[in-house]
Amino acid sequence: MFSAFYELSHYNQASLFVGACLRDQANASATSTIGCDDALACKKREPDLKRMDMGCTLTGSGKALPQLAVTNDDLAKIVDTSDEWIVERTGIHERHIAVEETSTDLAALAGKRAMDAAGLQPDEVDLLICMTITPDSVVPSEACLVKARLGLERAVAFDLNAACAGCVYGMEVAASMMEASALSRLGASSPLRISQGNAIKHALVIGVDRLSRITDWTDRTTCVLFGDGAGAVVLSWDDEAPGILSSFLENTDDPTLALACDQLRDLSTFPFADISQDDVCQIMAASLDEALPELERPRRASISMQGQKIFKWASKAMADAVMKACERADVPLDEVSLIVPHQANERIIRFSAKKLKFPVERMQISIGSVGNTSASSVLMALADAYAEGRIEGGDKVVLVGFGGGLTLGSLLFVA
Ligand code: ACO
């Protein structure tokens, strides 16, 4: 269940294991994973713990958009495109572009809205994770900047890069830390030693991206797709409700760099060799595959994409990920009230719905007014779904994201 998970975190694997163990019990899910057998062992040894009723619940949601809305007609004045082409191929009508707003401005506003919705005070937040590929600075991390802005005095804060699937990865990391914390707080016994870490009851998870800063505005194949924004969610431990039931994370290698963005570094003072930006690209490529000399690699700090390749992979991957989350929670797909997918292309969403034989009316489609906002996308769409009254208490909801890496993730929760 957490095989891909270990690769992206630094936690003690035992903590993750017991987190998984606790969630497996909460789900009462009879999968054949290693966590399940030991979860049953835990249950026998702690018969009084009502773990089936406990979990990590979503208690608040929010989003923030920059002021400037840019229409397709506006873009047609910059590159050779048209409103008709963009709408037909993507479903996008306009997107918001941050001119004055920083990533920190957007993230803090979305985070504050989610905290307000959850009725959470700044000094109650134990953990802040920011998912982003466009932080305002590398150090301090985006999460550290937002923590300071929001006055989250006791929160531990760090960034996570899983591109457009960031939302699911970030929530999964937060949920697992909370589960491990709950297990040690509740004093549950386990076949593994439970490491004593930070007590985490409330987490703020924010996706923020200003893709406008890594977009080549002369490239019509990419610049019409992207927008800026932030989405946020508060996760709170609940002793009475199960919340998140299951998740699925998967990484697929991307040896031809179908989706890539280079990172420019100032190497002008590097004294050991004459290293250029191209060398950095080669290092990146060499680690992937020997066949790469033929590859056309990105040489600038802007997104390059083989659109059709990503389209084909994503359409199938998204449907597969939804099914994995359902299977792991032992929830039939028809019990799912709403799927909130990554908003990369309306056609991808519709294709996935068709593949799943799931009514497209029960897919959240928010892309029209925002475009693809990367790590913010699923959380912004989730905020829309709550605002539109599409999610009620007790509903089963699946979040699903995919993106560069290639990263893929889904998560099923009970509202
Ligand atoms: N306006 C007008 N024409 C265009 C534009 C444009 N903006 N962009 C491309 N075209 C042209 C192409 O040049 C091509 O012309 P040709 O037939 O003369 O060669 C024609 O339109 C068709 O191009 P395709 O690339 O085949 O168009 P497609 O239907 O595949 O749509 C798109 C392109 C929208 C990019 C689609 O492939 C897609 O959505 N891919 C997935 C994107 C995605 O999901 N990205 C992942 C996440 S991004 C992230 O993680 C940051």
- The first and second tokens of residue 176, run together, are 């697992």
User: Of 121-135, 188-202, 229-243, 370-384, which gets the smallest average pLDDT?
Assistant: 188-202
Q: Is 342 a catalytic residue?
A: yes
How far apart are the C-alpha atoms of 362 and 145, rounded to whole Å?
Answer: 36
How far apart are the C-alpha atoms of 62 and 379, rounded to whole Å?
Answer: 8
Separation of 74 CA from ligand 1 center, angstroms? 18
pLDDT at 371 over 70: yes
Residue spans in the chain of domains classed CATH 3.40.47.10: 52-253+306-414
Separation of 318 CA from ligand 1 center, angstroms? 19
The whole-angstrom distance between residue 292's C-alpha and the CA centroid of its chain comes to 29
How far apart are the C-alpha atoms of 213 and 103, rounded to whole Å?
Answer: 10
Tens of pLDDT, residues 294-310: 455 545 688 988 999 99
Report the pLDDT value the prediction gives residue 6, as an integer from 0 to 100.
Answer: 26
How far apart are the C-alpha atoms of 328 and 332, rounded to whole Å?
Answer: 10
Please say whether the dihedral angle defined by the alpha carbons of residues 162, 385, 394 and 203, taken in this order, is positive or negative: positive
How far apart are the C-alpha atoms of 269 and 74, rounded to whole Å?
Answer: 41
How far apart are the C-alpha atoms of 242 and 393, rounded to whole Å?
Answer: 12
The DSSP bridge partners found for residue 160 are: 131
Of the pLDDT bands very low, low, confident and very high (cuts 50, 70, 90), residue 338 is: very high
Quickly tell me which residue has 């390059």 as its tokens.
304
Please say whether the dihedral angle defined by the alpha carbons of residues 140, 146, 151 and 155, taken in this order, is positive or negative: negative
Q: Can you give the length of the chain in residues?
A: 415
Of all residues in the chain, what percent carry a pLDDT higher than 70?
80
Tens of pLDDT, residues 128-171: 999 999 999 999 999 999 999 999 999 999 999 999 999 999 99
Report the pLDDT value the prediction gives residue 281, as an integer from 0 to 100.
Answer: 54
Residues 316-332 have a mean pLDDT of 97
The DSSP bridge partners found for residue 159 are: 130
Separation of 307 CA from ligand 1 center, angstroms? 5
CB atoms within 10 A of CB 252: 12
Question: Over 37-101, what HEC string results?
Answer: HHHHHHHHHCCCCCHHHCEEEEEEEEEECCCEEEEHHHHHCCCCCCHHHHHHHHCCCEEEECCCC
**Candidates 42, 130, 144, 164; catalytic one:** 164
Q: Is 67 exposed, middle or buried (0-12, 13-18, 19+ CB in 10 A)?
A: exposed
CATH of domain 52-253+306-414: 3.40.47.10
Q: Which atom of ligand 1 is nearest to the CA of 314?
A: 44
Asked whether 304 lines ligand 1 (CB < 6 A), one says no
Determine the longest span between alpha carbons in the chain, in angstroms: 68
- Angle at which helix 142-150 crosses helix 103-118, to 10 degrees, equals 50
Of the pLDDT bands very low, low, confident and very high (cuts 50, 70, 90), residue 279 is: low
Backbone angles phi, psi at 86, to 5 degrees: -65, -45
Report the pLDDT value the prediction gives residue 239, as an integer from 0 to 100.
Answer: 85
Question: Mutation test of ligand 1: which of 75, 221, 259 has the most ligand atoms closer than 8 Å to its C-beta?
Answer: 221
Closest CA to 125 of 241, 222, 233: 233
Q: Is 269 exposed, middle or buried (0-12, 13-18, 19+ CB in 10 A)?
A: exposed
Q: What letter represents residue 244's amino acid?
A: I
Closest CA to 86 of 367, 373, 306: 367
CB 242 within 8 A of CB 232: no
The residue that leads in pLDDT, 272 or 109, is 109
Instruction: State how far the alpha carbon of 411 is from the alpha carbons of 10, 168, 247, 298, 394, in Å.
Output: 21, 6, 4, 32, 16
Asked whether 372 lines ligand 1 (CB < 6 A), one says yes
- For ligand 1, atom 5: residue with the closest CA: 221
Asked whether 404 lines ligand 1 (CB < 6 A), one says yes
Q: What is the mean pLDDT of the chain?
A: 84
Report the pLDDT value the prediction gives residue 89, as an integer from 0 to 100.
Answer: 97
Separation of 225 CA from ligand 1 center, angstroms? 9
- Which pTM value belongs to this model? 0.86
Q: Is 72 a catalytic residue?
A: no
Tens of pLDDT, residues 64-93: 999 999 999 999 999 999 999 999 999 999
Q: Is 164 a catalytic residue?
A: yes
Tens of pLDDT, residues 12-53: 333 334 444 455 554 443 332 222 333 333 333 343 444 457
pLDDT at 203 over 80: yes
